A and B are shown apart, each in its own frame.
Chain A
Amino acid sequence: MSSPTSTPGRRKRNRDDIPATPKSTRRRGQDSSNGDLPAMPTSPATDIASPAVHDTSLFSSPRRSVLPSEVDMSSPLMYGTPSSRVEARQRPDLGSIRKAPQVDLHSEPPSADGAVASEQALGQKLVIWGTDVNVGTCKEKFQRFLQRFIDPTSNEDENAGLDLNEPLYMQKLEEISVVGEPVLNVNCSHVQSFDADLYRQLISYPQEVIPTFDMAVNELFFERFPDSILEHQIQVRPYNALKTRNMRSLNPEDIDQMITISGMVIRTSQLIPEMQEAFFQCQVCAFSTRVEVDRGRIAEPAVCRNCNTTHSLALIHNRSAFSDKQMIKVQESPDDMPAGQTPHTTIVYAHNDLVDKVQPGDRINITGIYRAVPMRENPRQSNVKSVYKTHIDVIHFRKTDEKRLHGLDEDSDQKLFTEERVQILKELASKPDVYDRLSSALAPSIYEHEDIKKGILLQLFGGTRKDFSQTGRGNFRAEVNILLCGDPGTSKSQLLQYVFNLVPRGQYTSGKGSSAVGLTAYVMKDPETKQLVLQTGALVLSDNGICCIDEFDKMSDSTRSVLHEVMEQQTLSIAKAGIICQLNARTSVLAAANPVESQWNPKKTTIENIQLPHTLLSRFDLIFLMLDPQDEAYDRRLAHHLVALYYQSEEQIEEEFLDMAVLKDYIAYARTYINPRLNEEASQALIEAYVDMRKIGSGRGMVSAYPRQLESLIRLAEAHAKVRFSDKVETIDVEEAKRLQREALKQSATDPRTGFVDISILTTGMSATARKRKEEVAQALKKMIQSKGKTPAMKYQQLFDDLRGQSEAAITKDMFEEALRALADEDYLTVTGKTVRLL
């Protein structure tokens, strides 16, 4: 075993010259001149042969040899590249990576001759011990990947501003040279599509492959940009490993492999200085030596190499090297969990610059290496607990919800669908009656109300998001808002509950119990750090989802007022306790309101019945009435439906209706992948529909449609196209949107006095006829006053009585006062107390 003792020895001496202070990075540059030596296995054979020999001292450890997956100091995996003048930073996230020898696959235990021979010649055979990774090939492959990989379809926000037709990662290297942040994030799916074998190796042996990648990248980088100065060498941070998505599916086979899981941070520890390298000094001759920490253990040198005294070396804390480390607890995200079980948690260790990157409450995707901490022998205990502790050494964090705060527009949660699933969904979509099928699958326990269910279905799909920020109008709302009003006990709450359970990002609140703060966001002071933390409320939490608000009418005015911004601009502005920001709240609102007089009064308009400000009502695309229809045929069907609910078995139900899971996936798929656009015919149809709507009103001298109606018509048509999985909005979509809107208006905007549909009830809070009447009364009053001749002041009561006597129709006191006010606005008269004066 020809161990090149010269190399490590020299390095040690070199390092001793540097004034040693505890620090997290180490200098390796000096010895890099030897770095391009061919790989030489160095582990002494004795170590391998005698795994059972242990020191019994406190620092005892199974020596390196028995841990197969380590890379030797002098192997090419060691940090430092030939040309680099930049210090390498140790990567504690990868663990101790410097001690595994490379072995020749075809020869018996590594022979010195074989290893020293040219790497090129033996290239294919030489692999890192315990793996099938050949350093040279691996490096070459990765460099090729960096130089050649092009992803023209990339839509990741990280790649914004890069030319998609140029090699992606070369551009990123260029970016590094400019920005100086020496981290290269590599999407594993890119690696996979480029070279599946390389990907497999990366996943299976991250501890060995990532340093190889590092090396490859640094070589390439300093070749290209020989003059750049970086803080430390570039580190490769792979992310998006497809292997594991779910914390629950982690099993013993994943140990030491690279995984990506998603979850939510629940706790972070304080910074822990972790010893990377222990500094020992001989008490006798002051000879010093360094020992690297190997999996949490330090092999204390028993004998001083200089003076051969035994047990004379003492640890000097100040001169040992430490790195930053932080423990983070991550909990499974609620969407991944099977019902009825509690979420799992996993411990994650972040190192160096990843420390303090995440905060409790963040939803993150973590890429890292899954570790099981080996059992430790306890000298005082003959038998040990047979349980391993596991954790993940994190390589890459990716916040999944940060976009909500920063307003980048891209759906972050990419739900993955298997091909069979997509096939099923597409099959379903191709059925001509898919719209009806889906709508009847919605809340099957609730009887009829087909149009309401259809409306909610369209709400679940939503329109296409359009960006007009270029032209200064910002985003167009793509979300459909729906209000349900009606008699108590018409299963409104049930419908809301159902929707809340159906959508992944649903929130359910009750108007009674929620405050403006609970809906929007509030600022909290962390008791420990004194740091201000923004806690988001229901509306922000349901970004990209649906916010179900029950008892909408019971909400206080101030609470309701925050909805104005959310429901049109889809943002929430916060200015509190020094935090000023605008949060995205692209949420659809599904609200339910009860009439003021407990029973719906058909003689009154919607506004009068539910007493909500019209400014808010006009922001709802569809307003439905859920009334008890009170007719026999309906009763019969209802009874049948309810009785069936109680006696049908599960199977029968399932036959009849779509599975909730299918519906969920269908919606998720459509929301992610389908972005329908209007085609020519559909645009024409929309224009016509709008003109028609305007025409109806103009005949009677009133406005019967506003641009808001047109916008919601477009949204509904788009949503309907999404239901069909169609990329084009066609005429049938517009037809359905028109029908649905008409139905909703018929229910909610019918003027009870005239029986006509009157949109102004919703937009201005008063029907056109009512306004006309008001004017008429004012005119009559004016006429009457004028007919009285020159009387500068009149008694209020007398005037009222006169007007009542004159008019054929009954005039209430309210009407009279309104008329007075109208005339006062005209500067015709003033009312002071009980007298009315002309001006």
Chain B
Amino acid sequence: MRMWFICRFCCPAAQSNSNPEWEAKVLEYFKGQLKEKESHSWVPSLNDVPLHYLKPNSLVKFRCLVQDMFDPEFYMGVYETVDPSTKANVLRCGKYKDVTECGVDLNSRNTVTAERQTFYCVPIPGESPWAKEISFLSAARVVPSTSYVPSRQKRSYEEDDDDMDTQPQKQREPHTGTHQAEPHGNGDSKRQETEAPSSQTTTPSDCSSHLDLNFPLPGERGPACLVKVYEGLDSFKLNDTLEIYGILSVNPVLTVLGEEKDPSLLLLNPTESMETPEEQRAHDPPASLVPRLHMLYARPLQHNNPLLPSAPTEDQSAFVSSFLVEMASVRAELLAYLTHVLLGDGLAAEYLLLHLISDVYTRRDVLPLGKFTLNLSGCPLNSYTERLYQIVQQLVPCSYRLSMSLHTMNSMRLVPKKDYVANRLVSGALQLARNTSLFLDETQLEQGQLDSSGVRNITALGNLISWQKVDYDFSYHQMEFPCNINVLVTSEGRSLLPSDCQVPLQPQVTPPNMEEYLTTIHMAQFTSQINKFRVYLSLARTLDYSISDEVTKAVEDDFVDMRKDDPQSVTAEDLHRMLVVARLLSLSLGQTTLSRDGWMRAKHIDMLRRSRTEQQKSLNGNEP
């Protein structure tokens, strides 16, 4: 807030002497301020605070994913206004604003045209309820600076409706962040209440058709935002996760201009009519639904785990080094927990743990390195996989469960597609942020016919797993977008999708009531414990890793020896996998270099796993 006032103050002053450097100075100032410890927590977040509690033209932040990039637009960077009473000309700044001041002199020679681009941003898809909740609670400290008091009783539903009739411009907030499946309701009841009228507000009285906010995943909620970007356009990419600091603009004029359809104006200016209604809806939605955010500064997010300091500062390294000490013990606890969850199967638990910290850390030409898709086969039927997902969801900050039933595979849109009529990228379920856990539940798949879109979806999943890329459909051509998604496939037999590693589950216990069993395990963990696991999983992923020359040599020797014994059974693929396993194993223990010991352990567990799959094969007989 304070910062914004400074901005208000310095802008006109700087404009009058038309010094172009003031813009850079303002940015510098904000960046400097935000670097200061804790300062970013003063800024209210769009993710946490309902839109109508935020002051227009104030500084807000938004944690989001770049879902679409619109065409660049030209705007009046500097313009002149004429005061009708005094006839005085004043130069004004159009940057960071949607709407000009009164009395613009459209023909002034001092008008400067500048360029900016609009990104369509949505909240990070699949963000786990716990991550939202924690960031919400930490945001509660900011509240004094806004008019939003979380304890305040929300106005009733009826009042809301009255409001809408009498004050159509009233800022209304369709969303808020709670997931419907959220079991813990601490301090959230008010927010759930705000959701109630949302179904009404998404269809404004004068807008007949439903406004699709284009979230990648079905059932998502949250504010979508049109972010106006002024600097560093090339540094942003589609599907980047960003924390954007910017100036909120919800000027009702934006909506009115969009809605206004004066036929006589259309006749004279066909440019307006060129935009299809769909396009107008997509690009100029009512500001009350999709606020505009003028970006001052954006911070790319390495992760969206609110328990971890997000910026790579001294803070973080101190945090990391303090946590590294505990790493091994937390790992042991987590392993025990996962073993329970996986019905006493320690090996599967080990692999699941490795999978959860895997990350595509680099690419060599087309080959993504570090991906570790796990196929857990032999999963018990009934709701086991669903419960398993809920447990995974409790551990990772971002996740999505795709139930691969025949119907969903045939009907769901996985791959984003360009809609040329509305001129936007219609999102699909595979448009996910980096390190999202994608839980593919193949146990839901039954026999039957896949239609062509089903085949396409399966192919897309296969490509995602093998190459970590999604080919977005641009109708005349396809465009490849690399991604970094942790795919976990649960299936009965071997999955029909490719995977880096298949582990047949061997339950040691057969609880009579699966539901109860898993719930008990889950309940037995303290929140503090779970939080430790969460930090552990996010942190292990960010560690650096290297292999010394000496170990390299040992690994090479080992490989040659293995090949000597049985060239058929050990292939280059196996070496690839073992190197990944060794890497993840080391990282999971907080070791940043591969030790000889680590390599041996990786070999060992891989051998155990292989003997298990072999066993499975001989049991099933002719399975390929």
Show the binding face of A for B, using Cβ within 8 Å. Answer: 51-52, 58-59, 62, 66, 250-252, 255, 264, 266-267, 269, 272, 274, 296-298, 325, 327, 329, 331, 334, 337-347, 360-361, 372-377, 381-391, 443-445, 447, 489-491, 494, 497-498, 501, 513, 628, 630, 632, 635-636, 638-640, 642-647, 650, 653, 660
- Interface contact tally, CB-CB below 8 A: 198
The reply to whether B552 and A388 form a contact with Cβ atoms under 8 Å apart is: no
The reply to whether A345 and B459 form a contact with Cβ atoms under 8 Å apart is: no
CB neighbours of A375 from chain B (8 A):
76, 104, 106
Q: Could you give 14 example pairs across A and B, Cβ below 8 Å?
A: A296-B268, A327-B274, A334-B479, A342-B418, A381-B256, A388-B75, A388-B113, A390-B73, A513-B455, A513-B459, A635-B559, A636-B559, A642-B576, A647-B552
> Within 8 Å of chain A (Cβ to Cβ): is B142?
no
The interface size of chain B toward A, counting residues with CB under 8 Å, comes to: 81
Q: A383-B100, A386-B79 are in contact. Are A443 and B270 (CB under 8 A)?
A: no
The reply to whether B73 and A647 form a contact with Cβ atoms under 8 Å apart is: no
Contacting residues of chain B (350-384) with chain A, CB-CB under 8 angstroms:
362, 364-367, 369
The reply to whether B274 and A647 form a contact with Cβ atoms under 8 Å apart is: no
> Within 8 Å of chain A (Cβ to Cβ): is B29?
no
- The residue from B104, B423, B474, B580 contacting A384, defined by CB atoms under 8 A apart: B104
The reply to whether B274 and A494 form a contact with Cβ atoms under 8 Å apart is: no
CB neighbours of A59 from chain B (8 A):
268
The reply to whether B477 and A334 form a contact with Cβ atoms under 8 Å apart is: yes
The reply to whether A386 and B467 form a contact with Cβ atoms under 8 Å apart is: no
The reply to whether A445 and B571 form a contact with Cβ atoms under 8 Å apart is: no
Per-residue interface assignment for chain B, residues 545 to 578, with 1 indicating a CB less than 8 Å from any chain A CB and 0 otherwise: 0110000100110011001100100011101100
The reply to whether B71 and A385 form a contact with Cβ atoms under 8 Å apart is: no
Beta-carbon nearest neighbor of B111 in chain A = A375
Q: For the complex, give the distance between the alpha carbons of A329 and B71 in Å.
A: 12
Distance from B353 Cβ to chain A, minimum over Cβ atoms (Å) = 20
Q: Which 3 A-B pairs have the closest CB atoms?
A: A340-B237, A647-B547, A639-B559
Contacting residues of chain B (66-80) with chain A, CB-CB under 8 angstroms:
68-69, 71-76, 79
Beta-carbon nearest neighbor of A345 in chain B = B71
Show the binding face of B for A, using Cβ within 8 Å. Answer: 68-69, 71-76, 79, 82, 94, 97-107, 113-115, 234, 236-239, 253-254, 256-257, 264-265, 268-271, 274, 362, 364-367, 369, 418, 420-421, 423, 425, 455, 459, 467, 474-477, 479-482, 546-547, 552, 555-556, 559-560, 563-564, 567, 571-573, 575-576, 579-580, 583
Q: For the complex, give the distance between the alpha carbons of A450 and B75 in Å.
A: 55
- The residue from B107, B555, B576 contacting A62, defined by CB atoms under 8 A apart: B107
CB neighbours of A646 from chain B (8 A):
369, 547, 579-580, 583
The reply to whether A52 and B107 form a contact with Cβ atoms under 8 Å apart is: yes
The reply to whether A252 and B571 form a contact with Cβ atoms under 8 Å apart is: no
The reply to whether A383 and B560 form a contact with Cβ atoms under 8 Å apart is: no
CB neighbours of B253 from chain A (8 A):
381, 383, 385
Q: For the complex, give the distance between the alpha carbons of A491 and B72 in Å.
A: 41
Q: For the complex, give the distance between the alpha carbons of A513 and B462 in Å.
A: 13
Q: A51-B107, A343-B479, A630-B563 are in contact. Are A338 and B271 (CB under 8 A)?
A: no
Q: For the complex, give the distance between the alpha carbons of A250 and B117 in Å.
A: 13
- The residue from B104, B234, B271, B571 contacting A489, defined by CB atoms under 8 A apart: B571
Beta-carbon nearest neighbor of B272 in chain A = A389
The reply to whether B68 and A342 form a contact with Cβ atoms under 8 Å apart is: yes
The reply to whether A643 and B476 form a contact with Cβ atoms under 8 Å apart is: no
The reply to whether B274 and A269 form a contact with Cβ atoms under 8 Å apart is: yes
- The residue from B102, B106, B238 contacting A341, defined by CB atoms under 8 A apart: B238
The reply to whether A297 and B268 form a contact with Cβ atoms under 8 Å apart is: yes
Beta-carbon nearest neighbor of A360 in chain B = B476
The reply to whether A445 and B106 form a contact with Cβ atoms under 8 Å apart is: no
- The residue from A342, A360, A381, A388 contacting B69, defined by CB atoms under 8 A apart: A342
CB neighbours of B105 from chain A (8 A):
52
The reply to whether A385 and B99 form a contact with Cβ atoms under 8 Å apart is: yes
Q: For the complex, give the distance between the alpha carbons of A340 and B469 in Å.
A: 11
Distance from A244 Cβ to chain B, minimum over Cβ atoms (Å) = 14
Q: A372-B74, A444-B364 are in contact. Are A52 and B556 (CB under 8 A)?
A: no
- The residue from A337, A345, A386, A444 contacting B99, defined by CB atoms under 8 A apart: A386
Q: A62-B107, A296-B269 are in contact. Are A388 and B571 (CB under 8 A)?
A: no
Q: For the complex, give the distance between the alpha carbons of A52 and B253 in Å.
A: 24
Q: A383-B253, A636-B556, A653-B364 are in contact. List 6 more A-B contacts (CB 8 A).
A: A381-B256, A383-B102, A385-B257, A386-B100, A628-B571, A635-B560
Q: For the complex, give the distance between the alpha carbons of A245 and B364 in Å.
A: 31
The reply to whether B74 and A388 form a contact with Cβ atoms under 8 Å apart is: yes
Q: For the complex, give the distance between the alpha carbons of A644 and B553 in Å.
A: 11
The reply to whether B99 and A501 form a contact with Cβ atoms under 8 Å apart is: no
Beta-carbon nearest neighbor of B89 in chain A = A52
The reply to whether A489 and B573 form a contact with Cβ atoms under 8 Å apart is: yes
Q: For the complex, give the distance between the alpha carbons of A476 and B79 in Å.
A: 63
Q: For the complex, give the distance between the alpha carbons of A372 and B101 in Å.
A: 21
Distance from A528 Cβ to chain B, minimum over Cβ atoms (Å) = 12
Q: A51-B107, A636-B556, A647-B547 are in contact. Are A345 and B423 (CB under 8 A)?
A: yes
Beta-carbon nearest neighbor of A640 in chain B = B556
Q: For the complex, give the distance between the alpha carbons of A444 and B367 in Å.
A: 10
Distance from A628 Cβ to chain B, minimum over Cβ atoms (Å) = 7
The reply to whether B365 and A444 form a contact with Cβ atoms under 8 Å apart is: yes
Distance from A756 Cβ to chain B, minimum over Cβ atoms (Å) = 27
Q: For the complex, give the distance between the alpha carbons of A553 and B166 in Å.
A: 70
CB neighbours of B423 from chain A (8 A):
329, 345
- The residue from B115, B421, B572 contacting A491, defined by CB atoms under 8 A apart: B572
Residue among A329, A382, A645, A647 with max Cβ neighbours from chain B (10 Å): A647
- The residue from B269, B270, B364, B563 contacting A325, defined by CB atoms under 8 A apart: B270
Beta-carbon nearest neighbor of B257 in chain A = A385
The reply to whether A636 and B366 form a contact with Cβ atoms under 8 Å apart is: no
CB neighbours of B68 from chain A (8 A):
342
The reply to whether B366 and A498 form a contact with Cβ atoms under 8 Å apart is: yes
Distance from A103 Cβ to chain B, minimum over Cβ atoms (Å) = 16
Q: A59-B268, A252-B114 are in contact. Are A386 and B76 (CB under 8 A)?
A: yes
CB neighbours of B237 from chain A (8 A):
339-341
Distance from A272 Cβ to chain B, minimum over Cβ atoms (Å) = 6
CB neighbours of A382 from chain B (8 A):
102-103
CB neighbours of A660 from chain B (8 A):
365
- The residue from B239, B257, B271 contacting A391, defined by CB atoms under 8 A apart: B271
- The residue from B82, B97, B274, B579 contacting A52, defined by CB atoms under 8 A apart: B82
Q: For the complex, give the distance between the alpha carbons of A45 and B264 in Å.
A: 32
Q: For the complex, give the distance between the alpha carbons of A264 and B238 in Å.
A: 21
The reply to whether B547 and A340 form a contact with Cβ atoms under 8 Å apart is: no
Beta-carbon nearest neighbor of B256 in chain A = A381
Residue among A390, A490, A660 with max Cβ neighbours from chain B (10 Å): A390
Q: For the complex, give the distance between the alpha carbons of A640 and B265 in Å.
A: 71
Distance from B518 Cβ to chain A, minimum over Cβ atoms (Å) = 36
Q: For the complex, give the distance between the alpha carbons of A373 and B73 in Å.
A: 12
Q: For the complex, give the distance between the alpha carbons of A660 and B106 in Å.
A: 49
Beta-carbon nearest neighbor of B570 in chain A = A635
Distance from B480 Cβ to chain A, minimum over Cβ atoms (Å) = 8
Distance from A657 Cβ to chain B, minimum over Cβ atoms (Å) = 9
CB neighbours of A372 from chain B (8 A):
74, 113
Q: A383-B104, A445-B365, A646-B369 are in contact. Are A373 and B560 (CB under 8 A)?
A: no
CB neighbours of A264 from chain B (8 A):
476-477
Distance from A57 Cβ to chain B, minimum over Cβ atoms (Å) = 11
Beta-carbon nearest neighbor of B97 in chain A = A386
The reply to whether A387 and B362 form a contact with Cβ atoms under 8 Å apart is: no
Residue among B79, B98, B366, B571 with max Cβ neighbours from chain A (10 Å): B366
The reply to whether B367 and A650 form a contact with Cβ atoms under 8 Å apart is: no
The reply to whether B552 and A58 form a contact with Cβ atoms under 8 Å apart is: no
The reply to whether A388 and B73 form a contact with Cβ atoms under 8 Å apart is: yes
CB neighbours of A334 from chain B (8 A):
474, 477, 479
The reply to whether B547 and A386 form a contact with Cβ atoms under 8 Å apart is: no
Q: For the complex, give the distance between the alpha carbons of A630 and B427 in Å.
A: 47
The reply to whether A252 and B115 form a contact with Cβ atoms under 8 Å apart is: yes
Q: For the complex, give the distance between the alpha carbons of A255 and B579 in Å.
A: 55
Distance from B116 Cβ to chain A, minimum over Cβ atoms (Å) = 9
Beta-carbon nearest neighbor of A382 in chain B = B102
